[in-house]
Structure 1
Amino acid sequence: MKNQTKLLSGLAAAMIALVAGPALAEPLFWSTQAKPVEESQKMRADVLSKFSGGVDYQASDEGPWRTRIEAELKAGKGTITVLGGLHGELSGLENNLVDLSAIDHVSIGDGLMQLGKLGTSEQKYIPWMQATYLMAADKKALQYLPQGADLNSLTYDQLIAWAKATAEATGGPKFGFPAGPKGLKHRFFQGFLLPSYTHSMVSNFRSAEAETAWNKFKELWQYTNPASTNYSFMQEPLLTGEVLIAFDHVARLADAFNKRPDDFVAFPAPAGPKGRAFMSVIAGVAIPKTAPDMDQAKALVSYMLKPETQVATLRATNFFPVVKTDLPADLPPSVKVSGPAITAMTEAKDALPTLLPMGLGDKGGQFNQVYVDTFERIILAGQDVKQVLNDQAEVLRSLMKDTKAPCWAPDAASDGPCPVN
């Protein structure tokens, strides 16, 4: 009798399932971001749990991530609803991504949206989250700002004038730069200074405009604390008062903001003749043409852009929002200090986003060394700017040919290796 009851229960359940039809699967969000177990769990529990029907968030290294999506594209059908990845990871898939132009993105800066077109006329991905580098200053230095200067829209000339005035008023150079062995100095030259004068990271490396940029940095170096050649993290000399104005990655300024949030301000990088260049670590969301449910996929992309979702993503990943939003009071002080500065920089009218180097394989360190060597020869050794740029341009050209790496923003797209003019 007991076995008969179990059998009838099983048959009833099967009949209900047949009538109701197959259960709808959660949309698969296939991502290269938030890979650590703790971050992935936060993405599922804190970021995506409020999406209607739930989301199956799966994070992977780039290799398996690309292998799976390419297999689905080749098969002409798939299970991936939404892709999440860095700009460089999504690049190359543009012919197989849905146009997202119709999705509301009004609160995302035009510069970031342009990156998401991946060189096409369509919106191939929509920016999802970002990290970057910023300027920081002790509030005691604000009194030395040039008359009429706006902290959120400084030029390099104004930064130099500010550093000079601060040095004269305080009895010594107080600009700080991460020029130490483990400092991220190369990112400043690659993504900020040179593009601001040349609209290029690679092609115009030895142009007349590049000479101007390096000569401007020579001016700034006069008012830079000599101990900068030992600095790797600028938060420490800011806290000790060795420097009053500094540049660094947001994560390397965080301690200063967290320990003394009322004493420091964050602000955008300066602008040059070609714009306010800044290096972004941009992650985007895209929909493959093989997504099983386009309406569901677009709804999920829209959900990721909601201000509340963006804040939840910040908590889960420490990547900042790409949309305009007020940050809640219970976030760490470093987030509250950095957030508005990042927004001001990315949404500036003269914003010029630049990207991390791409396509270099295991030669990324050699690429960075070109900029480090250029800095050391021009700034530290005082060698002739034009001669150094000519020499280093040949090293750079050889590297680009060896790796066959095509150009990335802000350089114009190239067929084959990015040219060094």
Structure 2
Amino acid sequence: MTKTRTTTLAAALLAAGTFAGTGGSAQADILFWSTQAKPVEETQAMRGEVLSGFDEAVDYQASDGGPWLTRIQAELEAGSGTIGVLGGLHGDFTSLTDNLVDLSDIDLGGVTVNETFQQLGTLGTDEQKYLPWMQASYVMAANKKALEYLPEGADINALTYDELIAWTKTLAEETGGPKFGFPAGPKGLKHRFFQGYLYPSYTNSMVTKFRSPEAEEAWNKFKELWQYTNPASTGFAFMQEQLLTEDVWVAFDHTARLADAFNQRPDDFVAFPAPAGPTGRGFMPVVAGVAIPETAPDMEAAKALAAYMLKPETQIATLKATNFFPVVEVDLPDDMPAAVKISGAAIAAMSGAEDANPGLLPMGLGDNDGKFNQVYIDTFERIVLAGQDVRTVLDEQAETLRSIMEESGAPCWAPDEPSEGACPVE
């Protein structure tokens, strides 16, 4: 079945009221159609704790990405619809850019929104196609015992890769062995570090500059860091475990994989932003936003709801409901879990840094997503673990990456410049 016939069928089904949530009757509430907060308990929390404070009734409906896109495409094709507000990840919106209304005229009431994410919400246009809504990320963590070994004059909230290497070198020399831990095990998230942290920090790219001289410098820099990394890291998955046993004193991981350490011993650990390189402080945010389709039945109510989602109190309620962090300046209440407070401060510092350089989650790859990740894993294993020549490995892996991009046809995403068609590998 062709895409046109599929969407035409979807439009017919929509008209018949057979999509979940329409009930075949007139939609009185504002329909918030979202790919986020899908687990039942999160959906219930969104309805009962987050959206219940809004002035009008909201029907929050969570959906998988496929049906989510099919329904909004059907409404757009029909020229009218019931969806008032769309919730989704950055990548969910990229195929809808031309059909999302400009939100730059929404009055946010003096709320300070993260500038980096607000820029992402333009989707490469001169309009605000979505407003950032919430975020998750990866951070660094350290046992407070490690802080006395920081290089002189170093700011833990603004470290460079050179300073991190100097720190881990001193730790190894002064404490009797390597104290840096890295999730390099089979179930570790090492590929996300290379994609979203190392590459943006040295190449301002994730794909196009994969085999560049700057990428070569990045891998050589990581090889330096590896000298002072706990050799058992090739078996590490969740770094909270090694922090608690003190097998490592400094580590990198996703906030969810550090939470137990922060919650069990909140006075012993600190979280801080990932280091910066020549092209900025690369980091990989999982950014969700709210958007309004041009077919929204009540534009004024939809814009009011979008503004409501960015209120500080709404952001805190959303954090409690979803474990996604705020995208606006907000003081977290004292009753939040230790992991939330510790990680939240680091995420805010990292995403709000002047040199913040986000590398978004790969998008548009379809079934090639796993192959894309494997390129970075294989590159790490060949260069760092097997000691193969950096230039040779990058040239060979670049060909694999190029074939993946061409097969998927995925256009570039940040920090790479937008592309027409498949993202090129130089």
Q: TM-score, normalised by structure 2?
A: 0.92
Aligned to 1:182: 187
Whether the 8 Å CA contact 2:91–2:363 is kept in 1: the answer is yes
Corresponding letter in the other structure for 1:155: T
> What is the aligned partner in structure 2 of residue 74 from structure 1?
77
The residue correspondences of 1:166-205 to structure 2 (distance < 5 A) are 166-205=171-210
How do 1:338-377 and structure 2 match up within 5 A?
338-377=343-382
TM-superposed CA distance for 1:63, in Å, is 1.0
Structure of greater Rg: 1
Q: Who is 1:88 aligned against?
A: 91
Deviation, 1:184, is 0.3
Runs of 4+ in 1 over 3 A off after TM superposition: none
1:400 corresponds to which residue?
Answer: 405
Partner of residue 237, structure 2: 232
Aligned residue runs from structure 1 range 297-312, under 5 A: 297-312=302-317
| 1:49 lines up with 2:27 in the alignment | no
CA distance, structure 1, for counterparts of residue 56 and residue 210 of structure 2: 51
Aligned partner letter, 1:278: F
After superposition, the C-alpha distances for 1:161-210 in whole angstroms (9 at most, x for unaligned) are 11111111101100000000100000000000011000000000000000
Distance 1:339 1:104 in 2: 26
Aligned to 2:289: 284
CA contact (8 A) 1:311 1:327 kept: yes
Unaligned regions of 5+ residues in structure 2, if any? 1-24
Mapping 1:145-164, distance limit 5 Å: 145-164=150-169
TM-score normalised per structure 1: 0.94
One-letter code aligned to 2:298: D
Instruction: Find the residue that maps to 2:113 and give its secondary structure.
Output: coil
What is the total number of aligned residue pairs between the two structures?
400
Of the three residues 128, 141, 147, the one matched with 2:146 is: 141
How far apart, in 2, do the equivalents of 1:23 and 1:405 lie?
A: 38
- Cα distance in structure 2, aligned partners of 1:33 and 1:271: 30
Aligned amino acid, residue 295 of structure 1: E
**Matching residue within 40, 45, 50 for 2:43:** 40
SS of residue paired to 1:210: helix
Quick check: 2:200–2:358 contact (8 Å CA) kept in 1? no
Listed one character per residue, the Cα deviations across residues 245-288 of structure 1 (whole Å, up to 9, x for unaligned) are 00000000001001000000000000011111100111100011
TM-superposed CA distance for 1:320, in Å, is 0.7
Provide the rounded CA distance (Å) in 2 between the counterparts of 1:158 and 1:418: 33
**Could you say what secondary structure the match of 1:412 adopts?**
coil
Question: 206, 210, 220: which is aligned to 2:225?
Answer: 220
Letter in 2 for 1:50: G
Corresponding residue for residue 102 of structure 1: 105
Among 121, 124, 149, the residue aligned to 2:129: 124
Partner of 1:208: 213
Q: Match of 1:47, as an amino acid?
A: V
Does structure 2 retain, via aligned residues, the 8 Å contact 1:108–1:347? no
Query: Identity of paired residues, percent?
Result: 73
SS for the counterpart of 1:49 is helix
Alignment pair present for 1:28 and 2:41: no
CA contact (8 A) 1:192 1:277 kept: yes
Whole-Å separation in 1 of the counterparts to 2:27 and 2:425? 52
Give the aligned partner of residue 116 of structure 2: 111
Task: Measure how far apart 1:236 and its partner are.
Answer: 0.5
User: How has the CA–CA distance of structure 1 residues 24 and 182 changed in structure 2, closer, same or farther, with 3 Å as cutoff?
Assistant: closer
Cα shift at 1:104: 4.5
Measure, in 2, the Cα distance between the counterparts of 1:296 and 1:104: 13
Distance 2:29 2:159 in 1: 47
State the 1:102 CA deviation.
Answer: 2.0
C-alpha distance in 1, partners of 2:359/2:203?
12
